[in-house]
Structure 1
């Protein structure tokens, strides 16, 4: 264990309430691309704005075409050592909440109870009617799309959309309030795999630090908030977290 890893272990051991905040970097090790990085998805496909999605059937059709064309990446992804290490800390009672910018459902797949996970940007593994909030499973929608090329619609007449937060869409108020409360109650805030440039989500690490919590940033590359952190580790997430928590083969299949 390196000095930095040992220091992180000591901070976790000393903490009573840990909040883990995750970004795209934790999931790239599971094969899910970082959409915002150079060469990433958004550099090749112009983001669809929420208001345009609502206004145009053709734009909705294009959005669903993109979804079904790329969905195999999400379906084939599995939690990696980083996800499983966090799940172990949750089981040990150290981590009270996982606040995530990711939409890939990998924290749930790692065995973390859904009530411990706060999804700031939603979830791409299912869809919702924006009017009546009926839930639709992606597999069912894909089959209908492949059968006749129809994009999803709801029986109530409402617009169906993946349960993610799109560009131009308001952040989910309930989840933001939950994340704020968890942040203000923690004594260790561990930011993992986030470039910390997407606000308002990236404001939570500073909120924690200003409230007296220790702030640790684990990311492959430096971030603009590194100067505010008590500890910065620039390295691959899975191996670092596996070392810090003492991840075993049994942990990798969950408990």
Structure 2
């Protein structure tokens, strides 16, 4: 559930190639005040797929738009059936070495904060603080009528009670928490209403086609202004919601480093893109800097 991306964007042949030399990442982190911008790629080692990498979910799954969700009751039924099943898997995901390394860099005072495009809460679970969830979080839901907020765990209990025996086998789980289900598998799944006013519930995340709240964008812009450098971890930067911060840092003359296996829309603005697994790079950097990372 993110702003609608340019789904047909493909890297052209003029992009600078990736490198296996993560020395510049260690140099930038070692100087401190390096703001982190993370995307779905940092969570793949926790079992959550990304959108655009090898086997990425966009090859088989088009995320629901905000407009479809609010206007079509049947679309909401499909969404909540898929999301309810996906939450059972998604909610069990645990931080990986990349998340733990970022939190360790924070504890050493090298990283002042994190902007994450992810909705999985894994940075906080690893111990990171000052995390701005650019696209919200799946661990809570909000009523579109009265604004009441409910914990996702509580909603899961109510959905289970309203849909006894619902246990289809999903073809896969997506970065936004949806499970891949057919219409037959969705069947007559019953969403549940807001407990306060009976209104329609929506996960407290930014859907494709929905704008990130302006105050959240400004909070991120201020974090970029206050940082000395920007380290992008596991994001293709295909959507403007993340790319704008890379552009802001580059325009201010601040070093931008990217760690992502595949080319990104920000490659031309970066000092380098390290094309290696995130866990490998960040734990290697931590070892070089003498930063202890819990296992």
User: Do Structure 1 and Structure 2 share a fold, with TM-score over 0.5?
Assistant: yes
Query: 1:5 and 1:52, CA in 2 relative to 1: closer, same or farther beyond 3 A?
Result: closer
Q: Would the alpha carbon gap of residues 200 and 69 (structure 1) be closer, same or farther in structure 2, given more than 3 Å must change?
A: same
Aligned counterparts of 1:213 and 1:94: Cα–Cα separation in 2: 16
Tell me the CA shift for residue 36 of structure 1. Answer: 4.1
RCO comparison, higher one (Cα < 8 Å, 6+): 2
Match of 2:81 among 65, 89, 96: 65
Cα deviation digits, residues 79-131 of structure 1 (max 9, x gap): 11111110011111221120011111000100112xx1111111112211133
Q: Which residue in 2 is equivalent to 1:21?
A: 37
Tell me the equivalent position of 1:153: 193
Q: CA deviation at 1:13?
A: 1.9
Q: Is the Cα–Cα contact under 8 Å of residues 187 and 212 in structure 1 kept in the other structure?
A: no
Aligned match of 1:91: 107
Aligned residue pair count: 249
Give runs of aligned pairs for residues 186-225 of structure 1, distance below 5 A. Answer: 186-225=227-266
Partner of residue 156 from structure 2, selected from 142, 155, 164: 142
User: Secondary structure of 1:202's partner?
Assistant: helix
Matched, 1:10 2:27: yes
Structure 1 moving runs of 4+ over 6 Å: 247-250
Structure 1 residue corresponding to 2:124, chosen from 91, 108, 127: 108
**Larger fraction in helix:** 1
Unaligned runs of 5+ in 1: none
* Alpha-carbon contact 1:50-1:169 (below 8 Å) kept: yes
TM superposition shift of 1:71: 1.7
Q: Is the 1:126–1:163 Cα contact (8 Å) retained in structure 2? A: yes
Instruction: Assess, with a 3 A threshold, how the Cα gap between structure 1 residues 156 and 50 changes in structure 2: closer, same or farther.
Output: same
What TM-score do the two structures reach when normalised by structure 2?
Answer: 0.78
Aligned to 1:56: 72
Change in Cα spacing, 1:49 to 1:6, as seen in structure 2 (3 Å) is closer
Could you give the per-residue CA deviations for residues 68-87 of structure 1, whole angstroms, max 9, x where no partner exists?
12123312211111111100
